[in-house]
Amino acid sequence: MTVPWLMGAVIALVVAAVLTPLVRALATRIGAVDLPAQRRVHHKATATGGGLAIFVAFWMAAALAGGLRDHAVVGILAGSAFLAVLCLVDDMYHLSPAPRFLGQIVVAMIALQWGVRVEGVTNPLALFGGSDYLSLGIWSGPLTVAWIVFMTNAINWIDGLDGLAAGVCALAAGTLAVMAINAGLTQVGILSAAAAGACLGFLPYNFTPASIFMGDTGAMFLGYLLACVSVTGAFKSTAVLAVFVPVLVLGIPIYDTLSTTIRRAVNGRSIYTADRTHLHHRLLARGFSQQQTVLLIYGLTALLCGMALWLWLR
């Protein structure tokens, strides 16, 4: 009998590997290409919209592996479909921040209404007495929406170098899959494994030198998906580690988003102003090559994921 999560990972990997060159050919034909610019790192026109292959591969794998039998998963599916349409429009017409942000809130609320919810957080003052876990109560809904929107943008923001977002998401999703499987949560395990497989199937075409970018369609979808999965199933329990560990797994994109936002705010710029203050830009400025930077961030992500797994499994 085939293990469902392994089946999901393999199907997603194969479908993404087959679909990506087809999407690349289509993008090139219709002119959906990312042109070099001052803030960009690439030096030639490159096909974009590869996230469509990731999206299709993920949901095809999840469906075939039996990952669509949970109420919250249906909500994640509905929200991601809405987000995919929004991102395709954005990839083609470059929407301003306002409609993008509004769309992200809508998809987060869809997931929330279908059961994706942050129930509580680790109490940072627990060492001084009191409960280790704080229930969010009426703040659960707003903070869930904030978490999903935050992570949707966090993954989108690290998608600045060839293979960076795909590799980081593959590591994070794979780690979440192991945790879910260990906790006996088949549905969450299938979704996480399928996400990892889709990223790995796409990565050979996206690693330096990339022949296609995932674009917002892929980056925002993966951010949204990881945000939802990380607060579903085992990660909704009242155990302190259930709250802390997913944050550790997603530590690099979280750090990058927070540090970039603070830098822009301190300098009096809008947080949506494009600049070169992201972690990968700062590493490039220190003399690392693009490939070295990506591999270094992979290593840091793997280290955090390893720490998370050790805490979860011990």
pLDDT interval class at 183 (50, 70, 90): confident
Strand residues in the chain grouped as ranges (E): 33-34, 46-47, 120-122, 133-135
State which amino acid sits at residue 312.
W
Which of 136-140, 258-262, 302-306 has the largest mean confidence? 302-306
* Cα radius of gyration (the chain): 19
pLDDT interval class at 132 (50, 70, 90): low
Are 199 and 37 in contact by the 8 Å Cβ rule? The answer is no
In this prediction, residues 208-219 reach a mean pLDDT of 89
Percent of the chain clearing pLDDT 90 (strictly above): 38
Candidates 45, 53, 62, 51; CA nearest to 11 is 62
Percent of the chain clearing pLDDT 70 (strictly above): 86
**Tens digit of each residue's pLDDT (9 = 90 or more) over 102-113:** 999 999 999 998
**Tens digit of each residue's pLDDT (9 = 90 or more) over 46-61:** 888 899 999 999 999 9
- 184 or 165, which is more confident: 165
**pLDDT computed for residue 166 by the predictor:** 96
Number of H helices, E strands in the chain: 12, 4
Candidates 149, 168, 129; CA nearest to 253 is 168
- How many whole angstroms separate alpha carbon 248 and alpha carbon 122? 13
Are 242 and 183 in contact by the 8 Å Cβ rule? The answer is no
**pLDDT computed for residue 187 by the predictor:** 84
pLDDT of 1 higher than 50: no
**Tens digit of each residue's pLDDT (9 = 90 or more) over 10-52:** 999 999 999 999 999 998 888 878 776 555 555 577 888 899 9
**pLDDT computed for residue 243 by the predictor:** 63
- 216 or 25, which is more confident: 25
**pLDDT computed for residue 2 by the predictor:** 56
Candidates 228, 20, 256, 37; CA nearest to 155 is 256
Candidates 139, 149, 41; CA nearest to 86 is 149
**pLDDT computed for residue 280 by the predictor:** 87
